[in-house]
Amino acid sequence: MATVAVIGETARVTGFRLAGAVVRPADTRVAARAAWDSLGDDVAVVFLTPEAAEAVGESAGERLTVVMPP
pLDDT at residue 59, rounded to an integer: 74
Q: What is the pLDDT of residue 9?
A: 98
- Average pLDDT, integer, range 34-62: 91
Q: What sign does the dihedral 35-40-41-44 (CA atoms) show?
A: negative
- Cα 38 from Cα 21, distance rounded (Å): 15
Please give the tally of structural domains in the chain: 1
Write the pLDDT tens digit of every residue in 7-41: 999 999 999 999 999 999 999 999 999 999 999 99
CATH of residue 54's domain is 3.40.50.10580
Tell me what the mean pLDDT of segment 45-52 comes to: 97
Residue range of the domain that includes 63? 3-67
